[in-house]
Amino acid sequence: MGGLDSGPAGQAARENGGEASLESTGKASLENTGEADREAPRGNASEVGGEASGANPIEQNIRIRLDIRYRGTRFHGWAVQPGHPTIQGAIEDGLALLLREPVRLTVAGRTDAGVHARNQVAHFDVHPDRIRALAHDSALDNGLRLLRNRLNTLLARTSETPGSDIVILRASAVSADFDARFSALRRYYAYRISDSIDTRDPQLADAVWWINYPLDDSAMSAAANHLIGEHDFLSFCKPRPDATTIRTLQAISVGRDAKGIVIELSADAFCHSMVRSIVGALVEVGRGRRSELWIKQLVDNPGRSQPAPVAPAHGLTMLKVDYASEDQWAKRQEQTRRRRDQQAD
């Protein structure tokens, strides 16, 4: 994949510190965005990039929210991985080129390799003068509009498919109380399965799991009811060090339409591989290889001795993220951080 974070232009920039014209070959190099910058701790923009050169010292860094859509097929997931194309890496490299400083994104949910998103959300901090400089005037809105448009141009130029694999839907200024990860109320995902020839569509093949046997969606729906609520989802999660597997699954549905089976889920948050493991377990029920009560046993007896099977990544799409109202952002952040700390103890 020709992502900015892994292509020859990005590599040359890291080695030489050079800058390429956006109007030349379409391959953008970067200034001062080496791997050392990528490994810097997350934090405020003042910590990771500092104030803009020549910027008004009175003004503080501002927070920018990005709404993002992407096709994850050619990417090794959201999070930066040296030597591999990633969604985060491509966007951060483009922002670094346009804003002339390293940028670190905080995201609502780190999707795995091959997973898609209809409306992912991320944020970063930057001095407002860096945004205004794009429009050569004092209007922040004009700078944000140009930032979105020019970033989309860069991302399209590095795509190996028609159009672009990544699209920035919106770039907007928000208060420092907003946090893409911790201000979120819930995340929504959908998983698509084709279990018959009639629902096969080659144009959608990279976003649908094709299964060569019919599934009982009614049995899958009944089994899914055992998953709703707060549980330890260790049987459905790949645990990470110092991270809890306790989650609240707020809703899950199994339905069928002209394109096949669709499983939709929403939760306050999902742990690693949780959605794909839930889908994999429900498919076992749909095939008749496992009973509805098997799902209940996995919930009631969390563990990794007999974990749920994991469905392929490409059938999964993040649909959207819900946030509290603006006056509740800070409170929601505090609640989420405190709850995660308590669950981890």
Which two three-digit tokens encode residue 230?
């707060």
Three-state secondary structure call for residue 144: helix
Which two three-digit tokens encode residue 127?
């001095």
The whole-angstrom separation of Cα 44 and Cα 225 is 41
Report how far apart the first and last C-alpha atoms of the chain are (Å, whole number).
41
For the chain, what is the total number of helices (H) and then of strands (E)?
10, 10
Three-state secondary structure call for residue 187: strand
Quick count: other Cβ atoms within 10 Å of Cβ 275? 30
**Contact between residue 224 and residue 253 where contact means Cβ atoms under 8 Å apart:** yes
Q: Which residues are catalytic?
A: 112
21 by Cβ neighbours in 10 Å (0-12 / 13-18 / 19+) ranks as exposed
Beta strands 166-174 and 62-70, pairing class: antiparallel
**Contact between residue 127 and residue 30 where contact means Cβ atoms under 8 Å apart:** no
CA dihedral 37, 75, 215, 198 (to 10 degrees): 150
* Residue whose C-alpha is closest to residue 343's, from 253, 237, 252: 237
Beta strands 184-194 and 209-210, pairing class: parallel
Paired strand residues for 125: 63
**Contact between residue 78 and residue 107 where contact means Cβ atoms under 8 Å apart:** yes
- In the chain, how long is the greatest CA-to-CA distance? 67
